[in-house]
């Protein structure tokens, strides 16, 4: 029986595994390292975050993006965007040097078991663990507008479904959304000769500004401190104090999570986008019907006007929502027992990232409703990894030898469970 099984081998999963191994836990990692970054983002994309805010986390802080860049003789500089493929290569380098080897099989089921959990891999093998950390990334939580659901894949897709946009060269594509994924996807399409338009509900596109130098006079730093999520004191709260965010009322957290850091394009993308992409603002996709090998989209304006657009394909760059009902790998009795944040479908987590089901820990997007927007970014991995592993050790306990499952200590953070299954650890 493993002390900890980590499901997912992206930035959060690898960081957690690195800390768990250093802590002496018998840890198993499932997932292909950096799979989402390699399989779901086309060449030519860049990170929106600064290089120094894009580190995976190991206990010594030695395996940073800058350290990887140095091995290649490539400078890592503030204000210079990082290519997604470079970042994926960094993640693979981190996986080889700082984390236990990953088992690349997919975990298809997690269910309660004696003394912990039973996980089942895609080839049917059961794996037993005392604790589990879900670091499943964003792919289970894809958001697509209602009007586009049920359409065949050749006509409609999500922006995360494309590792290569070449199939759309010379065609007509409509991109839905106003965030970085939508704007960068549209720019890449235009640059390869695709006729592309962006449709967005918002009345205007928002663009981030060029970040100021890291070294600035004290008054400027006090007015707008640098953080891993951008400059400003509100961003500082999100980036540097997730624990304080978690202490906000649940309804406030649910509201802020869905509205903070709204859609915006990176400063370095604006010149490539403007003038190259048609933009239709204040409209939403109300209907979509196959027509002549393509799609006829019915667009509804904020003022009630209705128009139609014919296109070969529509790409929804409409983000991800960490709703429990989309987490199909959790057994229904386990999924249904988890407490949620406010009126949302996002799971609640303790200050050490433990869900309301003892021994089940949450990381990345799954923990964002509890800890705030930083958990939607690589930057949150550093805050998460050390604390989550501390939570695992607390759950297991320590008695000189192998960790063992013990009751939660008096005074430790504890969450109410909805219908906790019989036999679960207290």
CATH number of the domain to which 306 belongs: 3.50.50.60
Residue 232: inside a domain: no
Render 35-84 in DSSP notation, one character per residue.
HHHHHSS-TT-B-SS-GGG-----TTS-S-HHHHHHHTT----TTSPPBH
What pLDDT sits at residue 301? 94
The verdict on 300 and 388 lying in the same domain is no
303 and 392 co-located in one domain: no
Domain boundary pick from 316, 350, 382: 316
Residues 311 and 324 in one domain: no
Q: Are residues 268 and 181 in the same domain?
A: yes
- Is residue 289 domain-resident? yes
Tokens of 31: 């997932």
Q: Are residue 156 and residue 289 in the same domain, yes or no?
A: yes
Can you tell me the distance from the alpha carbon of 119 to that of 223, in angstroms, rounded to the nearest whole number?
49
* DSSP state letter for 374: G
Residue whose C-alpha is closest to residue 313's, from 186, 157, 85, 147: 157
- Do both 28 and 174 map to the same domain? no
In a domain, 128, yes or no: yes
Q: How many Cα neighbours within 13 Å face the side chain of 305?
A: 8
- Residue 85 is encoded by which pair of tokens? 């493929």
- Do residue 164 and residue 272 come from a single domain? yes
Structurally, how many domains does the chain consist of?
2
Whether residue 219 is contained in a domain is answered as no
Based on the fold, state whether residues 324 and 312 are members of the same structural domain: no
Does the model's pTM come out above 0.85? Answer: yes
* pLDDT of the residue at 199: 97
- The pLDDT assigned to 196 comes to 97
| Token code pair at residue 19 | 């800390």
What is the rounded distance in angstroms from the CA atom of residue 164 to the CA atom of residue 369? 31
- Same domain? 160 vs 303: yes
Q: What range does the domain containing 169 cover?
A: 146-207+264-316
Q: Per-residue confidence of the chain (426 residues) as pLDDT tens digits?
A: 999 999 999 999 999 999 999 999 999 999 999 999 999 999 999 999 999 999 999 999 999 999 999 999 988 898 899 999 999 999 999 999 999 999 999 999 999 999 999 999 999 999 999 999 999 999 999 999 999 999 999 999 999 999 999 999 999 999 999 999 999 999 999 999 999 999 999 999 999 988 888 888 888 888 888 887 888 888 888 888 899 889 989 888 888 877 777 889 999 999 999 999 999 999 999 999 999 889 999 999 988 899 999 999 999 999 999 999 999 999 999 999 999 998 788 899 999 999 999 999 999 999 999 999 899 999 999 999 999 999 999 999 842 334 433 333 233 333 333 333 333 332
Mapped onto helix, strand or coil, the DSSP state of residue 284 is: strand
In a domain, 33, yes or no: yes
Of the candidates 342, 345, 357, the one whose C-alpha atom is nearest the C-alpha of residue 134 is 357
CA pair distance 173, 163, nearest whole angstrom: 16
How many Cβ atoms are within 10 Å of 171's Cβ, its own excluded? 15
Pull the structure tokens for residue 167: 């199939």
Question: Are residues 191 and 72 part of one domain?
Answer: no
235 in any annotated domain: no
Answer yes or no: is 118 within a domain: yes
| One domain for residues 294 and 309 | yes
Q: Are residues 184 and 98 in the same domain?
A: no
Any residues with CB less than 8 A from the CB of 53 and at least 6 apart, and which? 227, 228, 229, 377, 378, 379
Q: Strand, coil or helix: what is 15? A: helix
The burial of 426, by beta-carbon neighbours within 10 Å (0-12 exposed, 13-18 middle, 19 or more buried), is given as exposed
> Is 401 a member of any domain?
no
Q: Is 357 helix (H, G, I), strand (E, B) or coil?
A: coil
Q: What is the pLDDT of residue 396?
A: 94
């Amino acid at each position: 029986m493993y002390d900890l099984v980590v499901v997912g081998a992206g930035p959060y999963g690898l960081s957690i595994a690195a800390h768990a191994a250093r802590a002496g836990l018998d840890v198993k990692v499932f997932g292909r390292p950096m799979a989402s970054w390699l399989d779901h983002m086309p060449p030519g994309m860049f990170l929106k975050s600064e290089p120094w805010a894009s580190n995976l986390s190991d206990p010594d802080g030695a395996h940073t993006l800058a350290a990887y860049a140095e091995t290649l003789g490539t400078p890592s500089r503030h204000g210079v965007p990082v290519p997604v493929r470079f970042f994926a290569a960094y993640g693979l380098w981190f996986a080889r040097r700082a984390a236990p080897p990953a088992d690349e099989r997919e975990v298809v089921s997690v269910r309660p078991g004696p003394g912990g959990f039973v996980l089942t891999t895609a080839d049917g093998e059961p794996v037993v663990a005392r604790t589990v950390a879900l670091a499943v990334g964003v792919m289970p939580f894809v958001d697509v507008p209602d009007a586009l659901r049920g359409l065949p894949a050749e006509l409609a897709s999500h922006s995360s479904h494309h590792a290569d946009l070449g199939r759309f060269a010379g065609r007509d594509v409509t991109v839905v959304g106003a965030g970085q994924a939508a704007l960068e996807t549209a720019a890449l399409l235009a640059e390869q000769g695709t006729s592309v338009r962006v449709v967005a509900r918002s009345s205007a596109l928002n663009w981030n500004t060029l970040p100021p130098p890291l070294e600035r006079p004290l008054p400027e730093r006090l007015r707008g401190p640098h953080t891993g999520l951008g400059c400003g004191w509100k961003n500082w709260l999100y980036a540097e104090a997730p624990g304080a965010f978690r202490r906000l009322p649940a309804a406030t957290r649910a509201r802020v999570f869905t509205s903070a850091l709204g859609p915006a394009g990176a400063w370095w993308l604006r010149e490539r986008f403007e003038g190259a992409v048609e933009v239709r603002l204040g409209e939403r996709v109300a209907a979509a019907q196959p027509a002549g090998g393509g799609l006829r989209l019915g667009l509804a304006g904020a003022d009630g006007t209705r128009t139609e657009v014919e296109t070969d394909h529509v790409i929804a760059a409409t983000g991800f929502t960490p709703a429990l009902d989309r987490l199909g790998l959790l057994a229904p009795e386990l999924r249904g027992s988890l407490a949620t944040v406010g009126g949302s479908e996002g799971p609640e987590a303790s200050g050490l990232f433990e869900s309301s089901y003892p021994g089940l820990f949450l990381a990345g997007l799954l923990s964002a409703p509890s800890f705030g927007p930083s958990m939607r970014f690589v930057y949150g991995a550093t805050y998460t990894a050390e604390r989550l592993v501390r939570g695992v050790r607390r759950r297991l306990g320590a008695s000189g030898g192998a960790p063992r499952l013990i009751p939660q200590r008096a005074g430790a953070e504890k969450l109410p469970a909805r219908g906790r299954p019989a036999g679960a650890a207290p």
